[in-house]
A and B are shown apart, each in its own frame.
Chain A
Amino acid sequence: MDKTIAPADVTATYLLGLADDALIYTQRLGEWMSRAPQIEEDMALGNIALDLLGQARALLTRVGELDGTGRDEDALAYLRDEREFRNVHLVERPRGDFGDEMARLLWFSSYQFELYSQLTSSTDEVLAGVAAKAIKEVTYHRDHATQWVLRLGDGTPESHARMQAALDRVAPYVDELFTDTATDEAATTSGVGVLPSQLRSAATAYVRSVVDEATLAMPAEPRRRARGGRDGIHSQAMGYLLAEMQHIHRSHPDATTW
């Protein structure tokens, strides 16, 4: 990244990554509504999706203020193309079975827990405020995923095998959460952000403790690692996700309000 980049742009780019993670994961979690294993879980996943959507909206609004384009949350969510989205691959991964979702949620919430714990002291006041609210939400998300990984891991032989397989399938997407980009480095220098690499050991230790208690095994080092999301290089699934999310909004370019 160009070292002369203006601080506001660094902050905006940094926040866009956090916002897009939350927004795209909301989109995937929303797919569970009416499809969860029990009604209580429809409610819980809906609740988590709503929390993440709230984070995304606050952060996108802030991005629009900082980047000088004056775009509102909807312009940022609905009118950017795929290469402009900065989310990690983990959140765009198509919905799998319930084990896959709990493996994804365990990793993502453990990452967000460490992230927002530190961002409460961000020099960007809006981000610090979002973090202060988000940490309460994410604590619940992480607990929810934890309880399910324990039940599934230490439940029946079938659920044990399926939960293990889900952890293994998610493993290639973990590294990207904790990989620093030039924007992360610039945002950390300015006091706005935190280096993802510094979150890795605490988040991994938490996941490991849950996996151990659930009588499961941490997956071996994956052969393949997802990368590039923060630079707008996504998986093929992303285009379809955006096509669905954006098409009504984009089909009515002259509509000013919904």
Chain B
Amino acid sequence: MYGNDFRDPDEQLNAAEGGALDQLLPTATRRGEGGDFERLVSTDGRVEPRDEMPDAYRQTLIRQIAQHAHSEIIGMQPEGNWISRAPSLRRKAILLAKVQDEAGHGLYLYSAAETLGVDRSELLDKLHNGQQKYSSIFNYPTLTWADVGAIGWLVDGAAIMNQVPLCRCSYGPYARAMIRVCKEESFHQRQGFELLWTLSRGTERQRAMLQDAANRWWWPALMMFGPPDTGEAAKGGHTEQSMAWGIKRFSNDDLRQKFVDMTVPQADKLGVTLPDPDLRWNAERGHYDFGPIDWDEFWRVLKGDGPCNEERIAHRVSAHEEGAWVREAASAYADKLASRSTGAVA
């Protein structure tokens, strides 16, 4: 429920709203009927787990889906950081539910990865030992309550822009998992915006908190689309191959531009300034121009030198290690039950 002063709820806030996702449903939910891989991929068909597929396609998907799953799981931490301090009980409920949804997204995605012949524990080991990555955005800290809103508005907004096209991914289980993920992410993005909208109508200190959060999250959100991959930069990266395989549908740069175009008017409505002096509407291009992204910062944080890299992994590893005795007990108990029922049958 939104307050009476909330802006038009029918107005599209993110890439999954405004019917965008619903239009994808007929194709996205279609099961593949099998057949030759190249033909399936070139005719926008769905590749299913039983189908033959090139090993490189399989490995690319495992890497991408695992990274996505890891991002959901690590992403629970920066927001979980505020559950105990949420300033109203309504916000506490919303935040608890959101962090819980992220755990759920992690589960769908690990399950989608498992259809490719890996298992979750193996993927978690790779997260823990640094062999696989998660989205670098979660290496930034959540310093104030407004950061919870900024993550919803900007980080989830950027994630949705990336993820809606994945509902058309050539690999069926991933595409289908993404539908539910996008619907829930869309809800989170709207909740984040509504949190910030409330701050924007609040006290001077609440508005200052909002502006500070926008200042800190804007550039990292733009980096979430990944390094430039059009023009000269298109050569030699993952983008070209992933597009040929129907895993990726738009370039990083195109998605980033769409995100900027969608988000700048929302910043205006919130009354916040985005921290980019070059940001302005370009009538000729029909898009917003924006300033250069600090890719040195992106690579630095990606390689481990971000504010929270060590903390996020240490937290995750300690939860995993502290829970080992519980998981071992659950397996041992399941084995006992199985052998008891076998014994009873015999």
Contact = CB atoms under 8 A, between A and B. Distances in A.
A255 B208 CA distance: 13
A33 B333 contact: no
A31 B84 contact: yes
A73 B333 contact: no
Contacts of B195: 258
Which 4 interchain pairs have the tightest Cβ spacing?
A37-B323, A155-B329, A159-B329, A46-B100
Contacts of A258: 87-88, 90-91, 145, 195, 198-199, 202
In this complex, the member of B3, B205, B319, B322 whose beta carbon has the largest number of chain A beta carbons within 10 angstroms is B319
A49 B89 CA distance: 12
Interface of B: 3, 73, 76-77, 80, 83-93, 96-97, 99-100, 103-104, 106-107, 110, 145, 195, 198-199, 201-203, 205-206, 315-316, 318-319, 322-330, 332-333, 336
Contact of A56 (B77, B89, B91, B201): B89
A156 B85 contact: no
A49 to B, nearest CB: 6
Contact of B205 (A40, A151, A252): A252
A47 B101 CA distance: 10
Contacts of B206: 252, 255
A46 B332 CA distance: 25
B76 A156 contact: no
B140 to A, nearest CB: 16
Interface string A7-42: 000000000000000010011001101111111111
Given A150-B333, A249-B88, A37 B100 contact: no
B96 A30 contact: yes
- State the main secondary structure of chain A at its contact with B: helix
Contact of A74 (B77, B89, B106, B333): B89
A245 B84 contact: yes
Contact of A38 (B202, B323, B325, B332): B323
A46 B100 CA distance: 6
Interface of A: 23, 26-27, 30-31, 33-43, 46-47, 49-50, 53-54, 56-57, 60, 73-74, 77-78, 97-98, 150-152, 154-156, 158-159, 162, 244-245, 247-249, 252, 254-258
Nearest to A97: B322
Given A159-B329, A255-B202, A35 B100 contact: no
A97 B322 CA distance: 8
Nearest to A244: B84
A214 B87 CA distance: 41
A27 B92 CA distance: 10
Contacts of B80: 33-34
Given A33-B80, A49-B96, A152 B326 contact: yes
B103 A39 contact: yes
Contacts of B77: 34
Given A56-B89, A252-B203, A255-B205, 6 more contacts: A34-B80, A42-B99, A46-B97, A57-B93, A155-B332, A258-B145
A73 B89 contact: yes
B325 A158 contact: yes
20 contacts: A33-B80, A33-B83, A33-B96, A33-B99, A35-B318, A36-B323, A37-B322, A38-B323, A41-B323, A42-B103, A57-B90, A74-B88, A77-B89, A152-B326, A156-B328, A159-B332, A248-B86, A255-B87, A258-B87, A258-B91
Contacts of A150: 333
A248 B145 CA distance: 8
Contact of A54 (B93, B99, B198, B326): B93
